């Protein structure tokens, strides 16, 4: 509950960030159900300020998640497919693991609201695209055979499946193992 300066007739960027931060925090601390009034209180903001800028609670959560997703995975490529894939998976798994409650909270909201779901799908698509272009480059270099769309879904599917059911770890060992399996699948022999 920080004192924040008014910015008059222009949108208060600090309030916007406080809201997203509070939303992310509450989801992460995650009892799995976040009340708008709780976000508002924890951001030191009136509820109306939330509804002025977002159409619904879900929209806030989506944006909170997306802005986190931005920060996480920026992998420098070496040009060697096996190494690049491994580091991509390791970074992605780590980020997912650390933001598990946030991701699942948003998934939960998306499942009950079509427009949230469409934003959520866009987020997922952008992550798939990141992986896809990594694969495409390796393919152009001739390192691997042309990968099918299934490959990408196997990878992110494994990620989300473990996120949801939590029966097996998403650590770097898993990333490494999955990476090997994928490389094998894509290497002609």
Residues binding DNA (CB under 7 A):
4-12, 15-16, 33-38, 40-41, 44-49, 51-53, 56-58
Dist. CA 83–CA 99, nearest whole Å: 24
Residue 49 or 67: which CB sits closer to DNA?
49
Dist. CA 189–CA 59, nearest whole Å: 47
The dihedral sign for the CA sequence 106, 111, 115, 118: positive
Residue 19 or 110: which CB sits closer to a copy of itself?
110
Please choose which of a copy of itself, DNA, none residue 29 contacts, taking the beta carbon within 5 to 8 angstroms, the exact cut-off set by kind: none
Number of Cβ within a 10 Å radius of residue 81 = 22
Please choose which of DNA, a copy of itself, none residue 164 contacts, taking the beta carbon within 5 to 8 angstroms, the exact cut-off set by kind: a copy of itself
Residue 22 or 131: which CB sits closer to DNA?
22
Report in angstroms how near the CB of residue 13 gets to DNA at its nearest. Answer: 8
Distance of CA 93 to the CA centre of its chain: 10
- For the record, the structure tokens of 165 come out as 């059911």
> Please, are residues 184 and 85 in contact by the beta-carbon 8 Å criterion?
no
User: Which parts of this chain interact with a copy of itself (CB under 8 A)?
Assistant: 31-33, 104-105, 107-108, 111-114, 120-121, 124-125, 128, 148-151, 153-154, 156-162, 164-168, 174, 177-178, 181, 184-185
């Amino acid at each position: 509950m920080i004192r924040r300066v008014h910015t008059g007739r222009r949108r208060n960027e600090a309030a916007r960030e406080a809201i997203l931060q509070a939303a992310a925090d509450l989801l992460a601390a995650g009892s799995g159900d976040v009340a708008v009034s709780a976000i508002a209180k924890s951001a030191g903001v009136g509820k109306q300020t939330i509804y002025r800028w977002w159409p619904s609670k879900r929209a806030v959560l989506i944006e909170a998640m997306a802005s986190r997703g931005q920060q996480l995975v920026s992998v420098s490529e070496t040009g060697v497919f096996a190494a690049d894939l491994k580091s991509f998976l390791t970074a992605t798994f780590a980020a997912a693991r650390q933001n598990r409650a946030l991701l699942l909270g948003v998934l939960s909201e998306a499942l009950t609201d079509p427009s949230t779901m469409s934003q959520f799908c866009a987020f997922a698509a952008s992550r798939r695209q990141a992986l896809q272009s990594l694969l495409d480059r390796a393919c152009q270099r001739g390192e691997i055979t042309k990968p099918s769309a299934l490959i990408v879904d196997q990878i992110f599917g494994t990620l989300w499946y473990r996120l949801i059911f939590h029966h097996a770890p998403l650590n770097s060992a898993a990333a490494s193992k999955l990476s090997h399996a994928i490389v094998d699948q894509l290497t002609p022999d």
